[in-house]
Amino acid sequence: MENINNSDTSSNKKIILSGIQSTGELNIGHYFGAIKNWVKLQDDYINYLFVADMHAITVRQDPAALRRRSLEVAATYIACGINPEICTLFIQSHVPAHTQLAWVMNCYAMFGELSRMTQFKEKSEQHSDNINAGLFTYPALQAADILLYNANLVPVGLDQKQHLELARDIAVRFNSVYGDVFTIPEPYISKEKSAKINSLQEPIKKMSKSDSNINASVLLLDKTDDIIKKFRRAVTDSETEVRFAEGKDGINNLMTIYSCATGRAYDEIEREFSGKGYGDFKLAVGEAVVSVLEPIQKKFNGLMSDRAGLEKILKDGAEKAAHRANKTLAKVYKKIGFLQI
């Protein structure tokens, strides 16, 4: 008999789920590290892609900015190539089952496990005036996001690996008590270099939305001149050779970005720039990134000028997602002993 946990009932395709927090403007790390993979995989899977606005409030957000960004992140998914006709696209807070299952997940995630999460440790340091309980239990909500849809595969960047392992551990723990309720999700972390794009200013640190240094990140919606300028200012080293090597973090990162934008391997890049200086290389990286981003920006602007169309996509998406999520939630509630009347 077909295991309904491993595919949607209407198809044999496996299920993908992923999301990005609406905490700021998306950068090339989000595109190369996450969204590009979603686009590549979308035809072969059933896809649930959402904007994690509930995760976003673990750090203080300006309400108007959060509202605007949630819509912009959704539009960015589509502008980057996500097809809303084949993917279920929604905003996390529009599907109440996420918080409902999150409470249950909180009761199956251990204090010690949550304490070991590096994201929690990092964010606690960055926001030492606001180490709230949501920041601590963030991975329990993330486990709910994933397990509600019986996701088989969760495509994320390398920094999310630990959260995915915790979601798997919770699912295994729950199943060992109540039977085969949850599908055990697998992370999909690209083996390509794109799994981690680093800051242009501190190239050992991940390029992140919440970095306050504007020169550290290249935003998907940055203007051409700004992109070229940011690459020109990128931190490198005192040598002159474009070569991927230990200790050359700035150049390694630029080579990674160039490789993501052009599809060229490191040795090809080394040959292409042999005898040329860092200045030429930085300009080429900037131009390659501009040519990837131009069509995305054009499409984004078109989508944002039809707000009603975008809202309709998200409304339909939330309905579809809720339908699927509520089925899992009902099963969980029954298993754990909540009274059904």
- Contact between 21 and ligand ATP by CB under 6 A: the answer reads yes
Pick from ligand ATP, ligand LTN, none: which does 87 bind, CB < 5 to 8 A by kind? none
Distance in Å, CB of 155 to ligand ATP, minimum: 7
Asked about 209 being catalytic, the answer comes back as yes
Choose among 125, 123, 155, 156: nearest CA to 137: 123
Q: Which of residues 161-220 bind ligand ATP (CB under 6 A)?
A: 195-197, 206-210
Round to whole Å and give the CA distance between 263 and 257. 10
**Host H or E run for residue 91:** strand 87-91
Nearer CB in complex with ligand ATP: 30/230:
30
Nearer CB in complex with ligand LTN: 20/189:
20
Distance in Å, CB of 269 to ligand LTN, minimum: 28
Asked about 248 being catalytic, the answer comes back as no
Answer whether 180's CB lies under 8 Å from 335's CB: no
Choose among 196, 220, 216, 225: nearest CA to 26: 220
220: Cβ contacts below 8 Å, ≥ 6 apart: 25, 26, 27, 28, 30, 31, 76, 80, 293, 296, 297, 300
Contacting residue, 14, 30, 36, 248, with ligand ATP by CB under 6 A: 30
Answer whether 199's CB lies under 8 Å from 211's CB: yes
Nearer CB in complex with ligand LTN: 47/236:
47
Pick from ligand ATP, ligand LTN, none: which does 145 bind, CB < 5 to 8 A by kind? ligand LTN
Half-sphere exposure of 16 (CA within 13 A, CB side): 26
Nearer CB in complex with ligand ATP: 196/264:
196
Asked about 312 being catalytic, the answer comes back as no
Answer whether 214's CB lies under 8 Å from 35's CB: no
Catalytic-labelled residue, pool 209, 230, 248, 282: 209
Taken in order 8, 9, 10, 12, is the CA torsion positive or negative? positive
Distance in Å, CB of 187 to ligand LTN, minimum: 9
Pick from ligand LTN, ligand ATP, none: which does 253 bind, CB < 5 to 8 A by kind? none
- Contact between 36 and ligand ATP by CB under 6 A: the answer reads no
**Host H or E run for residue 16:** strand 15-21
Q: Where on the chain is the footprint of ligand ATP (CB under 6 A)?
A: 20-21, 23-24, 29-30, 33-34, 156-157, 159-160, 195-197, 206-210
Please give the positions annotated as active site. 123, 206, 209
